Amino acid sequence: MKIDLFVLGAYQTNCYILRNSAAAGDCLIVDTGLEPGELVDFLQKHKLNPVSVVLTHGHVDHISGLVELREKYPDIKAYIHKLDAEMLTGAASNISALMGQPFSTAPADFVCGEGDVIESAGIKLEVIHTPGHTPGGVCLYSSDEGIVFVGDTLFADSIGRTDFPGGSMGRLVKSIKEKLLTLPDDTVVYPGHGPVTTIAQEKQHNPFLR
């Protein structure tokens, strides 16, 4: 799998373009950032076709760029977990209202749940429901590639915030321990903010998981 990383917007959100090979034209996007300009420029420069965007959760810094992607690529399909689906259309629930810049957009094309497999652009990602940061937070796992995209569930030596509406520290830690730390140790973890890590690294060094 070819993975291109973009760190976008004021909140330094990690957004990923996935292709099944470097030669592939179709791609899948994981999260969009607040300001997707750099991501869109890359798509256009390399003549890529974003077939779908999968949102790890519904906070505004991960969904706002969906508006521009839909304008540029009208056929793109958006996925989000069913428990976060209303965050696309609700400025209160996606915390943009809290930040003083209310944002909403059209609903997702598809809602997903635990154990679903999203197949798009030649990519297969298993949906792992990891509530705690938001009720419908998900991680996206490829067992074949040994990688997982974790949004704001897990970071290098840290975990996602739980002080926003719908957050729960207990639920988040439980999600991580039961759903992520059970993955193979050499699984590469691609978070929503900050550097890449591994499951083994977080088992050994993450102070929130001891």
151 touches 11 (CB < 8 A):
no
Helix (H) or strand (E) segment spanning residue 16: strand 13-19
pLDDT recorded at residue 203:
97
- Return the CATH number of the domain spanning residue range 2-209: 3.60.15.10
- Tokens representing 162 are 């739980």
**Per-residue pLDDT tens over the stretch 83-107:** 999 999 999 999 999 888 999 999 9
pLDDT recorded at residue 36:
95
Of how many residues is the chain composed?
Answer: 210
In sequence order, the β-bridge partners of residue 112 are 81
Dihedral angle of Cα 129, 6, 102, 80, to the nearest 10 degrees: -30
DSSP state of 209: G
Mean pLDDT by 10 residues, the chain (210 residues): 96 97 97 95 98 98 96 98 97 92 96 98 98 98 98 98 96 98 98 98 96
* Statement: the pTM of the whole predicted model exceeds 0.85: yes
Helix (H) or strand (E) segment spanning residue 49: strand 49-54
Q: Give the span between the Cα atoms of 143 and 125, in whole angstroms.
A: 8
pLDDT recorded at residue 209:
96
Q: Give the span between the Cα atoms of 62 and 191, in whole angstroms.
A: 12
Q: Give the span between the Cα atoms of 134 and 148, in whole angstroms.
A: 18
**Per-residue pLDDT tens over the stretch 133-150:** 999 999 999 999 999 999
pLDDT recorded at residue 98:
86
Helix (H) or strand (E) segment spanning residue 173: helix 169-175
Q: What is the DSSP string of 76-105?
A: -EEEEETTTGGGGT-TTTTTTTTTT-----
Please state whether beta strands 147-151 and 188-191 pair in parallel, antiparallel, or not at all (unpaired): parallel
**Backbone dihedral region for residue 34 (phi beyond 0: left; psi -120 to 50: alpha; all else: beta):** alpha
pLDDT recorded at residue 100:
87
Neighbours of 180 (CB within 10 A): 22
